[in-house]
Amino acid sequence: MSLLVTKDLVKWFGETHAVDHVNFTVKESEVLALIGSNGAGKTTLVNLISGLFRPDEGQIIFRDADVTHQSVHGRIKAGIARSFQLVNLFDQLTALDNVALTIFSRESKIANLVTLAASDSAVWDEAHQILKLFGLEPKARMLAGGVSQGERKLLDVAVAYALRPKLLFLDEPTSGVSTREKAPIMDTVTSVVRSTGISAAIIEHDMDVVFNYSDRIVAMHQGAILADGTPDEIRRNETVTTTLIGTTETR
Amino acid sequence: MSVAPPGPRPAVSSARALRMAAPIAVALALVPLVLPPYSSILLAYGLVMAIGALGFNLLLGYTGLLSFGHSAYFGVGAYAVALMVKYLKVTSMELFLVGAIVASIMITALFGVVCVRYTTIFFGILTLALSQVLWSLAFKFFWVTGGTDGLRVPTPSLFGGLVTGAGDKITFMSHAYYYYVLIMFCLCVALMWVIVNSPFGMALQAIRDNETRARFVGVRIWPYRWVAFLVSGVFTGLAGALWVPLNGLTTPDIMHWTFSGEIVFMTVLGGFRSFAGPIVGAVVFNYLKTYAVGYTVYWQLLLGVVLVALVLSLPTGIVGTAGRLLARFQGRS
């Protein structure tokens, strides 16, 4: 069953069709990889779905409701969350605060200015649990700006996960980390996602990561969807192999 | 390894903060009993400015917005009191405070709508420009505001008329009014502590650190900035209302942008990355300015040199530097 459907989604930047009539779906409880060379339109597509950009044409249907014109806030409430290609954290807050703040927001307690945040033990307990889930509990009291790049990537995902989304977009969760760190990060992320039944759409350039961790792969090229299938189908797809994977593997 | 900085939660728990603040509050309460009246009155000025700086720092330190227009809200508080005296013949300090708060809410709510959509230099310039509008109104509408002559404010009655200013004004200001200011100061510090350590305070710090990510965890940027602007302005307006009976007179000078600069300076001097920084900065700045004025006619030059030297030698402010030295000392022992 489809959780998210985009219908003929279009986004222009000047004369460039960044996203060109894209019909994209994400099913319930699947881990989907979105691949394509730089400029293929992957991040723009995620920006459109998450509300950072407004589409020029088309519709975004999430859980049978049209969210095309909803605000970022509305989409988060509906269940769409995301992480960012360049890690986006609150660097002067601790790792624990980053997660707790998100829980306060999710629980609609964030506007409260007359109660000490520290007094809400349920929020802090949950924040500790989430950090533990992502293996970040030992870093709870460290500033987010002071942990390693791999840990920042995980914390970025943990913050998005704390929103308890139905659909989680992860924009290059392993970019900028060493090859050795990629597998542990993806193991952690996918085990959390699969154990909670969240759907995840992962933008990724590393083909080992893509083929090892995804249920389905969508390949994009020049703003349009080039192919859509299981990892085996994509591996056998000659168009994808010649257009994308060859170039991606040489990166 | 980076750990949480001193000041904002959760590095200092509320219980620990209370343990640190209680002896200071007791010491401040003893000041009129052990020091001459002049010292008490001088400290009262410092505490009043500390309330204003505390409000200002909610924007600078916690929300990441540098306002160059806080003289406007200080002036609104002061003029609200002076106009209540002139037109309503009010003498109750409690009514002064209510009037100043209402006036500050109206002005900051309006200015906030205009300013909070912008950040960085654009925000700073807008706040400066709007404060200059108020300054010019106070300057030109002399039949209402008294122009450069200003408006006089007599000694108010305190605590619903239980304490009146009949008798020696110096004694009243250095004792009864000093304690009134001290109580208001303690209430404002406690209230600001709760605000910056509330979920709302966390949201402001999130906006300061990363506006885009704050949006994507569900924080509505403009409404939160607007509320921060409002609270900040009301604190500064309250400071203006407490200041004007001490001074006995309000003139357009306190709405001029140079007075906004003083509020910025005292906050930076104390350290805007710590909760106590603006308080310490305001009190120290007040002493420095007073003694510089008394020492030489070239007091602005002297004050400027001293302040530049202090800021250069203490880039994280007095409190930030003290915290770092204390941490180093504790690390050695």
Helix, strand, coil: what percent of chain B each, to 5?
A: 80, 5, 20
**Residue B157 C-alpha, separation from nearest chain A C-alpha, in angstroms:** 30
Whether A134 has its CB under 8 Å from any CB of chain B: the answer is no
Give the span between the Cα atoms of B217 and B206, in whole angstroms. Answer: 10
Query: With an 8 Å Cβ cutoff, are A93 and B202 in contact?
Result: yes
Q: What is the pLDDT of residue A247?
A: 52
Q: pLDDT per residue over A233-251, tens digit each?
A: 988 888 888 877 665 443 3
Residue B256, pLDDT > 90, answer yes
Give the span between the Cα atoms of A169 and B99, in whole angstroms. Answer: 51
Q: What is the pLDDT of residue B17?
A: 85
A155 interaction partners in chain B (CB closer than 8 Å): none
Indicate the range of B16-30, B122-136, B286-300 predicted with least confidence.
B286-300
B203 interaction partners in chain A (CB closer than 8 Å): 101, 104-105, 110-111
Cis peptide before A184 (omega within 30 of 0): no
Residue B301, pLDDT > 70, answer yes
Q: What is the pLDDT of residue A85?
A: 82
Q: What is the pLDDT of residue B329?
A: 83
Give the span between the Cα atoms of A33 and A228, in whole angstroms. Answer: 10
Give the span between the Cα atoms of B180 and B176, in whole angstroms. Answer: 6
The Cβ of residue B301 has, within 10 Å, a number of other Cβ atoms equal to 11
What DSSP designation does A166 have?
Answer: S
pLDDT tier, B100 (very low <50, low <70, confident <90, very high otherwise)? very high
Q: Are B63 and B233 in contact (CB under 8 A)?
A: no
Give the span between the Cα atoms of B75 and B64, in whole angstroms. Answer: 23
Q: What is the pLDDT of residue A166?
A: 94
Pairing mode, if any, of strands A216-221 and A224-229?
Answer: antiparallel
- For an interface test with B, give the residue of A105, A106, A124, A153 to mutate (most B CBs within 10 A): A105
Q: What is the pLDDT of residue A250?
A: 39
Torsion of CA A236, A239, A241, A243, to 10 degrees: -170
- How many residue contacts between A and B have a Cβ separation below 8 Å? 127
Q: Are B238 and B97 in contact (CB under 8 A)?
A: yes
Q: Are B278 and B46 in contact (CB under 8 A)?
A: no
More confident residue, B314 or B165: B314
Q: Are A219 and A245 in contact (CB under 8 A)?
A: no
Give the span between the Cα atoms of B176 and B163, in whole angstroms. Answer: 8
Q: What is the pLDDT of residue B325?
A: 87
Q: How far is CA B134 from CA B75, B139, B229, B274, B289, in A?
A: 9, 8, 17, 31, 25
Residue B3, pLDDT > 60, answer no
Share of chain B above pLDDT 70, in %: 96
- For an interface test with A, give the residue of B216, B230, B274 to mutate (most A CBs within 10 A): B216
Query: With an 8 Å Cβ cutoff, are A114 and B218 in contact?
Result: no
Looking at residues A102-131, what average pLDDT do you find? Answer: 94
Domain ranges of chain B: 14-255
Residue of A nearest to B212 (CA): A88
Residue B10, pLDDT > 50, answer no
Q: What is the pLDDT of residue B58?
A: 96
Q: pLDDT per residue over A24-47, tens digit each?
A: 999 999 999 999 888 889 999 999
Q: What is the pLDDT of residue B2?
A: 47
Q: Name the nearest CA neighbour of B308 among B288, B286, B283.
A: B288
Q: Are B270 and B287 in contact (CB under 8 A)?
A: no
Residue B1, pLDDT > 70, answer no
Residue B7, pLDDT > 70, answer no
Q: pLDDT per residue over A166-208, tens digit each?
A: 999 998 888 888 888 888 999 999 999 999 999 999 998 888 8
Q: What is the pLDDT of residue B333?
A: 62
pLDDT tier, B308 (very low <50, low <70, confident <90, very high otherwise)? confident
A91 interaction partners in chain B (CB closer than 8 Å): 209-210
What DSSP designation does A146 have?
Answer: G
Query: With an 8 Å Cβ cutoff, are B205 and A93 in contact?
Result: yes
Whether A1 has its CB under 8 Å from any CB of chain B: the answer is no
Whether A141 has its CB under 8 Å from any CB of chain B: the answer is yes
Give the span between the Cα atoms of A164 and A196, in whole angstroms. Answer: 9
Residue of A nearest to B61 (CA): A92
Looking at residues B62-89, what average pLDDT do you find? Answer: 95
Q: Are A83 and A176 in contact (CB under 8 A)?
A: no
A114 interaction partners in chain B (CB closer than 8 Å): 194-195, 198
- For an interface test with A, give the residue of B16, B62, B195, B198 to mutate (most A CBs within 10 A): B198
Helix (H) / strand (E) element for A225: namely strand A224-229
What DSSP designation does B198 have?
Answer: S
B202 interaction partners in chain A (CB closer than 8 Å): 93, 97, 100-101, 104, 110, 117
Which of A76, A90, A163 lies at the smallest CB-CB distance from B209?
A90
Helix (H) / strand (E) element for B135: namely helix B120-140
Residue B4, pLDDT > 60, answer no
N-terminal to C-terminal alpha carbon distance within chain B: 20
This prediction's pTM? 0.89
Give the span between the Cα atoms of B56 and B260, in whole angstroms. Answer: 10
Q: Which of residues 179-238 of A touch B (CB under 8 A)?
A: none
Whether A88 has its CB under 8 Å from any CB of chain B: the answer is yes
Looking at residues B22-31, what average pLDDT do you find? Answer: 93
Q: How far is CA B61 from CA A92, A210, A216, B13, B268, in A?
A: 11, 43, 46, 19, 10
Which of A110, A112, A143 lies at the smallest CB-CB distance from B3?
A143
Q: What is the pLDDT of residue A135?
A: 92
Query: With an 8 Å Cβ cutoff, are A109 and B199 in contact?
Result: yes
Helix (H) / strand (E) element for A17: namely strand A16-27
Give the span between the Cα atoms of B313 and B328, in whole angstroms. Answer: 17
Q: pLDDT per residue over B221-250, tens digit each?
A: 999 999 999 999 999 999 999 999 999 999
Can you list the alpha helix ranges (DSSP code H) found in chain B? 14-34, 37-63, 70-88, 93-115, 120-140, 142-145, 169-172, 178-196, 199-209, 211-216, 221-247, 257-270, 277-295, 299-313, 317-332
Side-chain-side CA neighbours of residue B280 (13 Å): 20
Give the span between the Cα atoms of A158 and A150, in whole angstroms. Answer: 12
Looking at residues A85-97, what average pLDDT do you find? Answer: 90
Chain B residues interacting with chain A (CB cutoff of 8 angstroms): 1-5, 9-10, 13-14, 194-195, 197-203, 205-206, 208-210, 212-220, 224, 227, 231
Q: Which amino acid is at B187?
A: L
